[in-house]
Amino acid sequence: MARDMAQLAYEQYTSEGGYFHQPNPAAVVLFGAQAPFVDSVDKITQVANQLKSWANLITVNYNVNSADLTNFLNSIATPYMNLSVSKTLYDDLEFNLMQTNCFCDFGPQLSAFDPVKNRVVKYADCSISSEEIGASWNSDETFCNIIQSNIVLVPLTSSLRYNFTVSIYQNNLPGFILDPIYIGLHRNSRKAWVWYDYDGSEIPDSGSFSNWAPGYGINSTGDCVAIQGGNAEKSSSYLWKNVACNINISNITDARCGYRACDAANMYQSALAGLNQRCTMFKSDVEKKKAFEARRKFLKETRKNKNKA
């Protein structure tokens, strides 16, 4: 039975006539009260792996006293998404569904492990190198937003964001020499230190987190800031230095960019055209409401046409 339901979910969302549009993620919830028969384990596992290639598989254990069921659901669920029947089940389900709906369509996403609740928490921060965007520029401001206005120089306003950025280079470039990289901290036209926010506004630098190299800081010459570069595996390679904002003077040819993750308040997948586009930043709530109404109408018509077929 579990295999049949999982197979049905897989076929529904991957069929030609279905209305699932990647990269918009999906979630499948599988409830279990009894461990599957031995001859069904491999088949269910196979379908579960197919589901997890494009969706989060959330399992709910209705019989926590069964070690066999618990172990099996742990083995097929998306990591940290095997839930149990408890007073917090509704909240746990809501959290996992919200996490599914918060995603980056390119570049790594900021996440951290919560040891108290034993789960991974994804944040609405996506990261990408300016080299991956493949653009050319004349100043630090256009490193990232030359492609889209909501892609900015990354705001490393906390140790969490900073450590996440450092880990990207340490994990992907072991043994390599890291060139200097622009980040989002800079002096604005009023000579105040600020970061770029994803909507193009400014975030005043509170000074609560910084990682300046010796001899550098807010009183030093240079209105922009770069990670200094060096051995990608060494933490000393990621200290901050004041640099010129004009890249013809700084000779820095790379930057770390960031954009806000897609979520329920920050996306509209273009199902109307059947396209797999990245999420769109809306200028107003009215524009956002119109887009969601158009999508709802499209899905309704899709279901109606499918039922007629």
Poorest-pLDDT segment among 109-118, 131-140, 190-199: 131-140
Give 203's strand partners. Answer: 195
| Number of domains, the chain | 2
Residues 96, 217, single domain; the answer is: no
Let me know: does 186 contact 225? Beta carbons within 8 Å: yes
Residues 194, 79, single domain; the answer is: no
DSSP state of 88: T
Q: Is residue 115 part of a domain?
A: no
Question: Looking at residue 279, what is its pLDDT?
Answer: 54
Q: Look up the CATH number of the domain holding residue 210.
A: 3.10.100.10
Q: Is residue 244 part of a domain?
A: yes
Question: Between 168 and 277, where is the model more confident?
Answer: 168
Pairing of strands 55-61, 26-32: parallel
Q: Is residue 286 part of a domain?
A: no
**Residue 210: is its pLDDT beyond 70?**
yes
Provide the domain limits for residue 40. Answer: 1-101
Residues 134, 94, single domain; the answer is: no
Q: Which residues of 28-65 are buried (b: 16+ CB within 10 A; e: fewer)?
A: bebebeebbeeeebeebbebbebbbebbbbbbbbebee
Question: Looking at residue 25, what is its pLDDT?
Answer: 73
Averaged pLDDT, 235-247 = 92
Residues 97, 128, single domain; the answer is: no
Q: Is 66 exposed, middle or buried (0-12, 13-18, 19+ CB in 10 A)?
A: middle
Question: Looking at residue 278, what is its pLDDT?
Answer: 47
**Residue 76: is its pLDDT beyond 70?**
yes
Neighbours of 274 (CB within 10 A): 9
Query: Dihedral of the CA atoms 88, 94, 97, 102 (nearest 10)?
Result: -120
Averaged pLDDT, 256-261 = 87
**Residue 238: is its pLDDT beyond 90?**
yes
For residue 36, whether the previous peptide bond is cis, meaning omega lies within 30 degrees of 0, is no
The residue out of 101, 131, 158 marking a domain boundary is: 101
**CA–CA separation, 113 vs 23, rounded Å?**
24
Residues 74, 182, single domain; the answer is: no
